[in-house]
Structures are given as structure tokens and as C-alpha cells.
Chain A
């Protein structure tokens, strides 16, 4: 298959061998499961259960609220112990509403929606609806509700479903293992998604450093002419949605547009597997494969963990820490987020838990920029990190925005290469946050203005109506007096 080059990028130490040969193992049910209401981009789910209620595995315990949202399901059977606030697996460590379930150990399935007998003759809407009801979100890390992306066929002229199995992040091997061990399920899920989207072609892109996964997927897709398995060069950030689309199709997604605008929808391979489960068996998303790795963990593993298991449970399953970790990361080391602690739960978008030693993180204090320009050469988005950071340092967000800071995908390549160890991506994340906050404030002010004007108008109208009424009454009274006088 003809591939197209992508700009820049880096070649970090991949260190995947720590976990790549470890087959997926299921985590024994922990004592308690913590299911946060917000595990996805969009509106948080709304609780459907109350304390003390018995739930079965796969039962919906929180429903989606709005167009971009996702429901939550009980990962096992048991009792709702509490609905409470606990820290989210998020760098802020902010608490969020979480349903705590105490498993009863029977792991009994609830009555699930019936399997869709022949998904390929089903209405695309039915499939998207099933995916939405199953709480499936993008499992590559972004956690965007998948059903929304399966509905794009009605709005855009699509030609390709691109299944992202690049897994370009160092350490992570969960997608690799899922592809090796469940290739058939992924291929079936992909075909169902392609049908829902109405696209004639499926490309499964896998980085060349996963030959076994490529072999397994090629084998599983052999019977289907519409599916192509493409090995893509090992080049971080190949797995970035827009860059992968460019590498496979040669099309460049315009700024502020979606890949769907140029005919391609991208889903993660694990998401395809979840779609297979939802459509063929009616099973919602209640577990996912997480890579636990890093030099500070005793034994790296790919663990199929129920959503809501604590990070501490997974670490304990891996034999605990071999040494005090310098960093605890949710996801890969390049784009992952720091974990605020071990007591946070596994969520749907959590692809990895990394306990990294100081040697692995190689964190050093920042020194002055020497303008070497490497960040400019390697930026996969064609930006000028050195200049943007200089503006952001002075809190000049407007200038940074002009240079394209909002186009930055936070891949981390610039921070990784910087010889001065300047936290470039951190500057950009800060600027993006500030710019978004300003935008929110601006919108709120505008809303206030509109409401205030409407209010003033209404008050004036009411006053006028009252005046009119008074005048009418007066006139009436006057008329009556006159009548009396006349009489």
C-alpha cells in the first residue's frame, strides 16, 4: 500500500518489550469498584441507582445526558455501596461524582439487549444507537463518545474507516496485545462500523514495530476484500488522528475541520472490539485492557481490568513497586497525564498505567533556550514552539494564538527533543487553557448581556402595560362619574 510522509516527529525509546510479550490477563475482582460519571468528553452521565441497590453486570447505572455524553454500566454484579465524590484520574485530582459498587463475586450478567442478528442489514442508526447505549467511547485515550463518530456518515461524504492500531506511544502494548489475541473481534467490529458509516473501505494502520499484530490482523482480514492492513513507519506521533490520515490517504485535514470533512473517520482498534461485543452480544463496555509498565513496577503486564478498579489494585496485581516511582502516568509517557495518586479508578480511556523511574523520565531543570531550532524541525504540526513559548512566558496569549498554539496537538515531541529541557508542551497546555477560559468568559458575558437586555425590555413592557391599564381604569372611572353626573 502506498503511504505518504508526515512532517517531523521523533524516535523515542519505545521500551515496549517490557510488556509486549505478556499475554492479556484478567484482573481478579477487587473489593470495590469506583465508576466515575465522567469518563468521556462531553456531559457527565446521570446516576440511575441509589445506595444499597443491587445491580447486575452490564446494567446501566448512569445514563447519558445530551448529544455528546455516554452512559455507565455496572462492571460486575453487586450492591451500590455509595454514590459519592472521589478524586478523578486527572492531573487536577478534583473530586467527581462516582458510583461505588461492592461486587458480590458472582459476576452475573444483567438481562442484556438482544444481539443484532445481522448487523450488515441493520439500519446504521440502529448500530449507532446500540454503540451509544453500550457506553462505548474512544479507547485510544481521547474518550470521545464513539456513537457520535458513527453518525458522521449522515453529514459527510465518507470513503474510509481508518482503524488506528499505530500505538505510537512508548511502553503501551495494550492495542498490540488486543490485535494479536482478538484480531477476529476487531475485524468484525470494524466491518460493522464501516457498515454504519456507509464506507466501502477499511484501513487498519499498525506501526511496523508490531509485526505479530500486523500478521494476526492480516490473517483475520484475509476473507474481506474491503479491509487493508497497512504497516506504517515507526515515527512518533504516527498515531495522531490527523497525521495517520495523512500517512494513509495523503489528505491533509484543514485546520478547524474534522477528518470526516476529508472523508475519513478514525477509530481505535480496541473501540472496534467493544463495538463487536455490543452489537453481537449486547454487552456494554465494562472492562478494558490496560498496560501496566515502567521501570518502577515489579512486573509489567497487560491487564483486562473492570472499569472502576483502582490503579492501586492493578499495581498490586503486578507485584507492587520495585522502587519508588518518579512519575505515575495515565496513558503513554508522551501524551499521558500524571495520576494524582493510586486510589483513582481505571476509566474507559485509560490505556496505560506507567510507574517510571527517574532514569526513565530523565527530568532535568530547564536551562535557557539556545535557539537550536530542533523543535521547529520536528514539530509534526509545522509550528514554531520556540516562539510560541516565548510569548506565553510573557502571558501574551493573543500572539501565541496567532502563531497557532491552538493547532498544537500536545504530542510532546518538542519538549522531548529540547536540549534545554524547557517544558514547551506545558506552556502550550497552559496557553490553551487560558485561551479557552477567556473564550468561556466572553461567551458568558455575551449571554448575560442578551439576558439583561431581554429583562429590561420585559420590565419596560410590563410597566407600559400597567400604565395603559391604569389609564384605562381612570378613563372608565371618569366615564362612570360623568354618567352619574349626567343621570
Chain B
């Protein structure tokens, strides 16, 4: 018994030591993961994740400092792709609750200041000085940067509506003792 415990302990310590040493001396200096992760992010530099831009977010992800669900405009697809890349299980419950959104300009409040147009990183807002602005819904990816800069609070985020084209069957309700 003691022999077994002893030998296993020795083996554990030895192997652990080797792994530790390997991690130290064989570590890759530059993290190639960072570039790959950055490529998976939308690249709109919206800053909703709390980092300055997508590059910084990718760095944080690579270091494991940020959750894969950090990118709201990227939505479920991005979170899942990141989770797969990083080999972690994503808690997607938040994405389930809050679906994708898009920005809408409220006509009665818009003063045509063009601030939102300058802010939009995907050029989804049309309009000109002193003219009512409007958002191309298909292009908007819901980062919400325009909402912040609007001086008259004329922009609001709305959930992307479900259509006959995007609706699909929900998971079957599991009956009692199914499968």
C-alpha cells in the first residue's frame, strides 16, 4: 500500500516538474492565438467589451482575462467560435436572453448633426448635415456607439425582429424520462 502511494507520489511530482519546466522554457514568446482571435472579432472597434478595440479584446481573450461572450455585436456565433478556438465551454445564456439589436433613429428628435454618422464604424447611417438620418438595418450590427454620441437621444436600440425567414422550430420539449 505504502509502496503504491509512494511510487505514485514520486511519479506525480516528477511529471509535474517536467510539465512545469516545459511551460517555462519552451513557452512561445509571441502569442499567435491573439492574431487568430482578432480575426474572429467583428473589427468595428466599438468598445462595448470594455477594451479600447478589437485588438486589445483579442489580447485579453488570449490571456484568458476576458470571457468569450465579451462581444455583444458578435453575438452567439462569435462567442461559439471563440469558445471553440479557446477550447472552453461558453455560457451562452446571456446571448439567449438578449438577441441581436439594431439602431433606429427617431425622426422627431434627430437634428441632423451627423455625429452618429461619423461614429458609425460600418457606415450604416445615411444622412447629411441638417437632414434626418436613418439607419440601414441590414448593415447595422448593433454596437450602439451612435446611441452614446447622439446629443438629443434620438437613437434607440431595438431587437432585430423575428421574420418568417428567420423563425425556426424550438427544441422539442423533453417529456418525462425521454431518452
Contacts and interface: CB of A to CB of B under 8 A. Distances in A.
B164 A92 contact: yes
Interface in B103-129: 120-124
Given A94-B164, A448-B42, A449-B43, A366 B73 contact: no
6 contacts: A96-B163, A444-B141, A445-B78, A448-B44, A448-B122, A456-B121
Given A395-B171, A430-B172, A455-B121, 12 more contacts: A90-B167, A96-B164, A365-B176, A366-B172, A368-B179, A427-B172, A432-B168, A436-B168, A438-B80, A444-B75, A451-B122, A452-B45
Nearest to A91: B169
A390 interface: yes
A320 interface: no
A434 B179 contact: no
Contact of B123 (A88, A438, A454): A454
B169 A455 contact: no
Contacts of A389: 179
Given A451-B139, A455-B123, A430 B171 contact: yes
Given A452-B121, A453-B43, A455-B122, A433 B168 contact: yes
Interface string A438-479: 101110110111011111100000000000000000000000
Interface residues of A, number: 43
Nearest to B76: A441
B22 interface: no
B169 A430 contact: yes
A422 B178 contact: yes
A365 B177 CA distance: 10
A448 B43 contact: yes
B116 to A, nearest CB: 13
A429 B171 CA distance: 9
A369 B172 contact: no
B162 interface: yes
Contacts of A436: 168
A447 to B, nearest CB: 7
Contacts of A454: 123
Contacts of A427: 171-172
A88 B164 contact: yes
Contact of B169 (A433, A440, A442, A453): A433
B175 interface: yes
B169 A393 contact: no
Contacts of A11: none
Interface string A80-120: 00000000101110101000000000000000000000000
Contact of A390 (B121, B141, B172, B179): B179
Contact of B42 (A90, A369, A452): A452
Contact of A422 (B122, B168, B179): B179
A121 interface: no
Most B C-beta atoms less than 10 A away, residue of A365, A367, A430, A448: A448
A449 B167 contact: no
A437 interface: yes
B77 A368 contact: no
Interface in A31-64: 38
B74 interface: yes
Contacts of B139: 447, 451
Nearest to A429: B169
B63 to A, nearest CB: 23
Interface of B: 42-45, 73-78, 80-81, 100, 120-124, 139, 141, 162-164, 166-172, 174-179
Contacts of A447: 139
A222 interface: no
A423 interface: yes
Contact of A429 (B45, B163, B168): B168
A408 to B, nearest CB: 13
A271 B120 CA distance: 48
A287 B73 CA distance: 45
A7 interface: no
B42 to A, nearest CB: 5
B170 A452 contact: no
Interface in A238-269: none
Contacts of B141: 444-445, 448
A422 B179 CA distance: 8
A366 B179 CA distance: 8
Nearest to B162: A94
A251 B159 CA distance: 46
A367 B178 contact: yes
A449 B141 CA distance: 10
Given A429-B169, A449-B42, A438 B76 contact: yes
Nearest to A428: B169
A480 interface: no
A426 B172 contact: yes
Most B C-beta atoms less than 10 A away, residue of A91, A369, A423, A452: A452
Contacts of B76: 438, 441
Contacts of A96: 163-164
A104 B163 CA distance: 33
A437 B123 contact: no
Nearest to A443: B77
A451 B179 contact: no
A445 B122 CA distance: 11
Most A C-beta atoms less than 10 A away, residue of B169, B176, B178, B179: B169
A429 B167 CA distance: 11
A70 to B, nearest CB: 14
Contacts of A442: 77, 81
B44 A452 contact: yes
B121 A368 contact: no
Nearest to A433: B168
